[in-house]
Amino acid sequence: MSDLVAARSQMAVSLVFHIIFAVIGIAMPVLMVIAERRWQRTRDPIYLDLAKRWARGTAILFAVGAVSGTVLSFELGLLWPQFMRLAGAVIGMPFSLEGFAFFTEAIFLGIYLYGWERVSPRAHLLAGVIVAVSGAASGIFVVIANAWMNTPTGVMVTNGAFTHIDPIAAMRTPAALPQTLHMTLAAYAATGIAVAGIHALLVLKGRASAFNRAALMIGLVVGAPAAVLQPLSGDIAARYLARRQPVKLAAMEALYQTRAGAPLTIGPPPGIKIPYALSLLAFHDPHAVVQGLDAVSPDERPNVGLVHLSFDVMVLLGTYLAVVGLWAGWLALRKRDLAAHRGFLRALAVATPLGFVCVEAGWMVTELGRQPWVIYGVLKTQDAVTPMPGLIVPFTAITLLYCALAGVVAVVLYRQIIRSPVA
Amino acid sequence: MTPSLAVTLAGIILIGLTAYVLLGGADFGGGVWALLASGPRKQAQRELIARAIGPVWEANHVWLILSLVLLFTCFPLVFARVAIGLHVPLTLMLIGIVLRGSAFVFQSYGEGSAAGRVFATASLITPVLLGVCVAAAATGAVPVEPRGSFVAVYVRPWLTAFGLAVGVFALACFALLAAVYLTLETRDLPLQEDFRRRALVTEVVVVGVAVVGLFLLPAALSIHPRVVALTAVTAASAIWSLWRRHYALARVAAAGQVALIVVGWGAAQYPYILPPDLTIQAAAAPRVTLELAFTAVIAGAVVLFPSLFYLMRVFKAQSKNAMR
Ligand code: HDD
Ligand code: HEM
Ligand code: HEM
């Protein structure tokens, strides 16, 4: 394994791990706040139980999110010092704002998780709201930094050095809006559907308690609308790619030749082709010209197989989640009892992990699709990597460590939450 | 002369690091005492530590992140060079941070298992390596150009007797802070005595290691005698107030002592941010970036300080009662 590949793999492992906790950290506070608000409204103890139980699990996941995030902040320099040397002054701004958002989040999380008996009910709920808002804000800021890597703005590059740095213009990079929108919705969709799915499974197993019904409904309230909106925001993301990062789009769609009236390829190439569909989706015009991979030399193309596969997985599973979300809405509109509809419950239980799979697949599209660039069109990944040799050692160490940590989390969560009797 | 924006931001980063040492450091110190819990009140000691750390754990650790992001925003060159030259100890330090997080998860949720103890023990490398990295940076040992053999570039600069002394010193300071803070976290007198005794012993160790460190101090780093004298005074007052059971005073003295050490380090290497050649001015990002970062710090402080104050008031209120 070359040092570059080891560095990329270590970055990938760290991010694949962190994003799970980040997504839960963004959405779980919303679910807890809804449950607590219902409790304050109805005084139904089930909702209090729910909020407290969720808070206990979230505390564990937050701690893991914090340490894996700390690791990432260091890894930006440990693995990609040349990238940070150039880009630090440009995208330091969103990272700094993210730092302050974390701080706010951490402070009020402490109050929320440990302060049930110490602050007034209203102050407690407000602390939860602040955690939810600052969690979403930190996600948005860090994704803005990533968006800048995709569409760098606010700098001029002369002989490899950055001049005319404008951090505000950098934060207003065109990729920021589609990416932050799609990512924030993804957090709510993945977490909400997963919570609803777990409780759907419990109901199916004969534990149709009021507790499980309440949890299922709150999960759906957050997850279903987001899942329905996700294909729409994905379409926005794809259309911006067609203009700004045509190579990535071509790799996602396995489009080798530039052509008008491009078809949509589904499955490993040659796959199934839907005529004109790609031109239609990318430019809302069946005859539009879509740029293919042949527009750039082979050494500037990403790994088409992986990017295309990841994209297909995201879209396939995303469509399934959207259908489940629509189904939930349809049943709710007709005033049917969702927790009694076995077909729906089964579909929901199947959906439990799928949102997280979509998140990982989507990030593979974004990050692998940007290769060989770390800053699109400006800096190649191979020129950003640290000169330190033997990177396979830290890569192996971090991977083993994260496997162990995942085991710890699974054991503790199991003992704390799942195994404890549910009324 | 008013300090330049770059110097101000470097000062803010140093303050952030000081806060991490005083708060996050005490978390590592708490880990030490949880491991070394002994005697008839073994369980009570562990519970006190878990209760004291729980609510503030996240907030204490964000200080490190804040210092780090401000460093790479305002001084990207320093971040890049340190990340290359100190790759090995920094990676080990990160591993320690992950293990500390795992131990926290185990401890806070009543899983006092063998695995939890292994994680906790291993996480003690973090303070040591933090000290090692600071020593290497302060003495100008971080290579300017990564040229030469692996050992010459990536190992020898930080693996020095002085570095290890600073590492042990950091660990002892963190244990001291934790023991002193813990005397204020309980009203149970025997428990309080347990931590008073631990604090006194640790303070003696801290002073001892400091003396050894001063002997090993390389010529490249000159610490102002006044800083040394002031630190000695705070150490003496910490011992005195612990002896007389003035715990609130002991907390101020111990925190002051450790803060003086960190700030003294910053002062010793001024105007260099990364000796031997990078001054604060030379390493600074363009002016727009500095201005924006400064604005963000001010805006952040307006939100954060009242919030932090509120957090401390909610959870540390009982310590006031313990004083009486
Ligand atoms: C619940 C998760 C989820 C779901 C259901 C979908 N996505 Fe997605 N997608 C993500 C989660 C995600 C993400 C959070 O993982 C990414 C990675 C980077 C980003 O901003 O969002 C992403 C990236 C991403 C990109 C690349 C953006 C870029 O590189 O700048 C495109 C074009 C799409 N998505 C398109 C879609 C479409 C057409 C979907 C239709 C069903 C879809 N996504 C469902
Ligand atoms: C290179 C990329 C990234 C870096 C350097 C990074 C850094 C960090 C850090 C330092 C923390 C810990 C904060 C604390 O102590 O509370 C953290 C947590 C978090 N991160 Fe990331 N992060 C990255 C990617 C992401 C992404 C892609 C998202 C999501 C969109 C995200 C969202 C979050 C959230 C919501 C938290 C707080 C919640 C939790 O701890 O679970 N991060 N991150
Ligand atoms: C939003 C914040 C993020 C930032 C700032 C960020 C930054 C980076 C950087 C600097 C690299 C190394 C250079 C490169 O390979 O291009 C990288 C690589 C990578 N990242 Fe991200 N990333 C983010 C989010 C994510 C997430 C959430 C995931 C996955 C779940 C992810 C997956 C990857 C992968 C797989 C690579 C390796 C790609 C390759 O080299 O082929 N990233 N990222």
- Give per-residue pLDDT as tens, B162-205: 899 999 999 999 999 999 999 988 888 888 889 999 999 999 99
CB contact (8 A) between residue A74 and residue B83: yes
CB contact (8 A) between residue B97 and residue A99: no
Which residue's alpha carbon is at the smallest distance from atom 13 of ligand 2?
A66
Which of B76, B87, B308 faces A88 most closely, judged by CB atoms?
B76
Nearest to A140 by CA among A26, A47, A243, A227: A26
Using a CB-CB distance cutoff of 8 angstroms, which residues of chain A are in contact with residue B75?
88
Best residue in A388, A391, A396, A403 to probe B by mutation, most B CBs within 10 Å? A388
Average pLDDT on A187-207 reads 93
User: Could you state, in order of their start, the residue ranges of all structural domains in chain B?
Assistant: 5-171+267-323
- CA-CA distance, B29 to A230, in Å (whole number)? 46
Nearest-atom index, ligand 3, CA of A373:
16
Q: Does residue B60 contact residue B26 with C-beta atoms inside 8 Å?
A: yes
Least confident of A230-234, B52-56, B277-281: B52-56
Strand-pairing partners, residue A290, are A259
Average pLDDT on A189-202 reads 95
Q: What percent of chain B has pLDDT over 70?
A: 93
Chain B (121-140) residues lying within 8 Å, Cβ to Cβ, of chain A = none
Number of H helices, E strands in chain B: 16, 2
CB contact (8 A) between residue B73 and residue A86: no
A149 Cβ closer than 6 Å to some ligand 1 atom: no
CA of A113 from ligand 3 middle (Å) equals: 31
CB contact (8 A) between residue A110 and residue B56: yes
Tell me how close the Cα of B217 comes to any Cα of chain A, in angstroms. 28
Higher pLDDT, A57 or A380: A380
Structure confidence at residue B323 (pLDDT): 38
Q: Burial-class residue A26 by CB neighbours within 10 Å (0-12, 13-18, 19+).
A: buried
Looking at the complex, does the CB of residue A420 fall below 8 Å from at least one CB of chain B?
no
Is residue B107 scored above 80 in pLDDT?
no
CB contact (8 A) between residue B83 and residue A386: yes
CA of A362 from ligand 1 middle (Å) equals: 5
Largest Cα span, chain B: 61
CB contact (8 A) between residue B315 and residue A74: no
CB contact (8 A) between residue A92 and residue B293: yes
ipTM of the complex, rounded to two decimals: 0.90
Using a CB-CB distance cutoff of 8 angstroms, which residues of chain B are in contact with residue A384?
none
Structure confidence at residue B321 (pLDDT): 44
**Sign (positive/negative) of CA torsion A78, A84, A88, A92?**
negative
**Sign (positive/negative) of CA torsion A316, A321, A327, A329?**
negative
Band (pLDDT 50/70/90 cuts) for residue B42 is: confident
Higher pLDDT, A139 or A274: A139
Nearest-atom index, ligand 2, CA of A109:
16
b vs e for A226-261, b when ≥16 Cβ sit within 10 Å of the residue's Cβ? bbbbbeebbeebbbbbbebbbbbbbbbbbbeeeeeb
With a CB cutoff of 8 Å and minimum separation 6, the contacts of B83 are A74, A77, A78, A81, A84, A386, B90
Q: Does residue A93 contact residue B289 with C-beta atoms inside 8 Å?
A: yes
A180 Cβ closer than 6 Å to some ligand 1 atom: no
Band (pLDDT 50/70/90 cuts) for residue B147 is: confident
Looking at the complex, does the CB of residue A174 fall below 8 Å from at least one CB of chain B?
no
Which of A85, A100, A388 faces B77 most closely, judged by CB atoms?
A85
Looking at the complex, does the CB of residue B97 fall below 8 Å from at least one CB of chain A?
yes
Looking at the complex, does the CB of residue B120 fall below 8 Å from at least one CB of chain A?
no
Looking at the complex, does the CB of residue B102 fall below 8 Å from at least one CB of chain A?
yes
CA of B3 from ligand 2 middle (Å) equals: 33
Strand-pairing partners, residue A274, are A264
CA of B82 from ligand 3 middle (Å) equals: 22
Is residue B3 scored above 80 in pLDDT?
no
Q: What is the pLDDT of residues B209-259, one digit of tens each?
A: 988 888 888 777 777 888 888 988 999 999 999 999 888 999 999 999 999
With a CB cutoff of 8 Å and minimum separation 6, the contacts of B10 are B74, B75, B266, B273, B280
CB contact (8 A) between residue B55 and residue A110: yes
Structure confidence at residue B114 (pLDDT): 67
Is residue A302 scored above 80 in pLDDT?
yes
| Amino acid present at B8 | T
Is residue A417 scored above 80 in pLDDT?
no
Q: Burial-class residue B277 by CB neighbours within 10 Å (0-12, 13-18, 19+).
A: exposed
Looking at the complex, does the CB of residue B144 fall below 8 Å from at least one CB of chain A?
no
Nearest to A30 by CA among A168, A113, A133, A104: A133
Mutate to test the pocket of ligand 2, among A24, A102, A104 (most ligand atoms within 8 A of CB): A102
With a CB cutoff of 8 Å and minimum separation 6, the contacts of A242 are A249, A282, A283, A290, A291
Which of B77, B87, B297 faces A386 most closely, judged by CB atoms?
B87
Band (pLDDT 50/70/90 cuts) for residue A419 is: low
Band (pLDDT 50/70/90 cuts) for residue B111 is: low
B164 Cβ closer than 6 Å to some ligand 2 atom: no
Average pLDDT on A35-56 reads 91
A12 Cβ closer than 6 Å to some ligand 3 atom: yes
- CA-CA distance, A119 to A63, in Å (whole number)? 23
- CA-CA distance, A187 to A208, in Å (whole number)? 27
pLDDT mean across residues, chain A: 91
Tell me how close the Cα of B70 comes to any Cα of chain A, in angstroms. 6
Compare all CA atoms of chain A with the CA of B102 and give the residue at the minimum distance: A405
Average pLDDT on A246-268 reads 88
With a CB cutoff of 8 Å and minimum separation 6, the contacts of B301 are none
Least confident of A197-211, A289-303, A386-400, B107-121: B107-121
Average pLDDT on A164-171 reads 88
Nearest to B251 by CA among B313, B176, B317, B186: B176
pLDDT mean across residues, chain B: 86
A105 Cβ closer than 6 Å to some ligand 3 atom: no
Is residue B1 scored above 50 in pLDDT?
no
Q: Does residue A184 contact residue A26 with C-beta atoms inside 8 Å?
A: yes
Geometric angle at alpha carbon B46, from B41 and B48, rounded to 5°: 90
Best residue in A82, A107, A134 to probe B by mutation, most B CBs within 10 Å? A107
Q: What is the pLDDT of residues B261-306, one digit of tens each?
A: 999 888 888 888 988 888 898 899 999 999 999 999 999 999 888 8
Is residue A423 scored above 80 in pLDDT?
no
Is residue B320 scored above 50 in pLDDT?
no
Best residue in A17, A80, A85, A411 to probe B by mutation, most B CBs within 10 Å? A85
